[in-house]
Structures are given as C-alpha cells and as structure tokens.
A and B are shown apart, each in its own frame.
Chain A
Amino acid sequence: DGGITQSPKYLFRKEGQNVTLSCEQNLNHDAMYWYRQDPGQGLRLIYYSQIVNDFQKGDIAEGYSVSREKKESFPLTVTSAQKNPTAFYLCASTPGQGSTEAFFGQGTRLTVV
C-alpha cells in the first residue's frame, strides 16, 4: 500500500545533540513538507520541497535543516540551535501539481531532556 512513513514514533535526545527525523513516501509525490505541532496548537511549516534537490524555508526554519536527495525521502535534522525542540513533528506529501490534499505521516514525538 502507498503511504508516507515517519520514524521513529518517539525520540528522546539530550540537549545540545542534533537529531534526524526520517520521512519516506512511496506515493511518487513531488512535494514534501515538515510541520511542527506544539500542544494545543495547529501546524507550523518548517521546510518544504517541491522537487528533488530543492527546498524552501517555511515560517519557522531556524534551528532546522533538511535535504532532498531522493524523491522518496525528506529527512529533517533538528540542530542544537533550535531553542525549544520538544514537539510533535509531522511530515506530509502532495503530488505537487494543482490543488490536492496533503497526505500525512503518523508523526514523530521528539522529547529533549
């Protein structure tokens, strides 16, 4: 079955360490997105990529980095520069042509201790 997979579901890291969240899709979608969600709040766009080897900053890109070397994969690195990294992170993808709904992964809950 086609879908979008995030791993791991739960991640614990020590303060000051970089950590990479995985996002893989087998939907053959061109566009991929990373969102951050804090308790009781909506989704805020971190980075998005509309095509391989290209990506753009969203509204809260500081302290994060991404890469898009393959169409299926869009990993997100939370760096030590991110002041409040503890959050729920969601990855999504769309075909990239026209207006269609975004497909979401099940999310990764990152806790920095």
Chain B
Amino acid sequence: SQELEQSPQSLIVQEGKNLTINCTSSKTLYGLYWYKQKYGEGLIFLMMLQKGGEEKSHEKITAKLDEKKQQSSLHITASQPSHAGIYLCGADEDNFNKFYFGSGTKLNVKP
C-alpha cells in the first residue's frame, strides 16, 4: 500500500517566520492533497496537486509537487497564529480513490 512520510513531525515557529513541511511517497503519486486540521475537528482541504512540477498558492500557503510526483512540500510565508494546527498530506492510489494520509505535522506559531 501507499506510504506517505511527513517531516517534521512537529514544528514551533515564531510569528512572521517562514516554514516548510515535506511529504514523501514510496510510489508515484496520482494525486496529492494537503489538509489542515484543528485538534478534535475534521479536515479542511487546502490544495490538490496532480501534475509533476505543479505549484499552487492560496494566500500565504504554497504547495509544490516535484517532477517525479513522489515528493511534495507545503510552504507558509510570514506565519501567523491562525496557521497553527495539524497539516496532513494525503494521496490516492491508482485513481481508485483509495485515500492514504501521512502522519501529520503539528505546527505551533508563537505570537
């Protein structure tokens, strides 16, 4: 089955600093998804990447998928306390919509 490794597992940054979260797959990804989760709540969809080399941005968050479609990064510019939460990368396997997720990265932003 698909395995997704996220790094780092947790991150504490000062408000205003930039940060990057990585997601690496053992297989070529058909689709790569980034979600954010507040503790004890459901997941909020951030972005979906499908094409090698693709990059998408929303407000201060940018996600990239490498050319080989096995690694993705999520970059937050000028972090704010509202960015705090758990970031999860997910992927579907072979277009059969069998979704897998990484172990998550817990982000804290200190004011």
Contact = CB atoms under 8 A, between A and B. Distances in A.
Given A42-B102, A102-B90, A107 B42 contact: yes
B50 A99 contact: yes
A99 B103 contact: no
B42 A35 contact: no
Nearest to A6: B42
Interface stretch (B14-22, B53-61, B77-85, B91-99): B91-99
A96 B41 contact: no
Contacts of B40: 88, 107, 109
Given A90-B43, A101-B45, A104-B42, A35 B101 contact: yes
A45 B100 contact: yes
Interface string A46-66: 001010000010110000000
Given A50-B97, A59-B1, A101-B45, A42 B6 contact: yes
Contacts of A109: 40
B11 to A, nearest CB: 13
A31 interface: yes
Nearest to A98: B95
B45 A50 contact: no
Contact of A99 (B48, B101, B102): B48
Contact of B97 (A88, A96, A105, A106): A96
A64 B30 CA distance: 28
B106 interface: yes
Contacts of B97: 31, 48, 50, 94, 96, 99
B51 to A, nearest CB: 11
Interface string A84-113: 000010101010101111111111010000
Nearest to A91: B42
A11 interface: no
9 contacts: A44-B101, A45-B98, A90-B43, A92-B43, A100-B48, A102-B43, A104-B42, A107-B40, A107-B41
